[in-house]
Amino acid sequence: MAILSGLAVYFVIWWLVLFAVLPIGLRTQDEDQNVVPGTVASAPTRFRAARIFLTTSIVSAMIYGAWYVAGTYFDISFNDLPVIMPGVEPQG
């Protein structure tokens, strides 16, 4: 696989994992009973960007590594997944 393709796949995985990691460990201002005037109660009390980005990068690297190993060493690709479409008979 080309380096640019690998980076693109990692970026897509990273972006998807980011939205899964964002709410983990989040404390809202409403939960801490410390709502700052002019903000919504659901705003985070402390936004820990470094922790979120580090966690996202580690989880993304593990997912990418599993995907790379499955594709390189076990020759598993998207073409191996079954296609299920209503009304269409499978070929072969």
Does the pLDDT value for residue 92 go beyond 60?
Answer: no
* Mean pLDDT estimate for the chain: 87
Report the predicted TM-score, pTM, of the whole model to 2 decimal places.
0.74
Does the pLDDT value for residue 88 go beyond 70?
Answer: no
Q: How far apart are CA 92 and CA 52, in angstroms?
A: 47
List the Cα angle 73/70/3 in 5-degree steps.
85
Instruction: Convert the pLDDT of each residue in 18-46 to its tens digit.
Output: 999 999 988 989 888 889 999 899 888 88
Copy the structure tokens of residue 82.
């079954």
Does the pLDDT value for residue 81 go beyond 80?
Answer: no
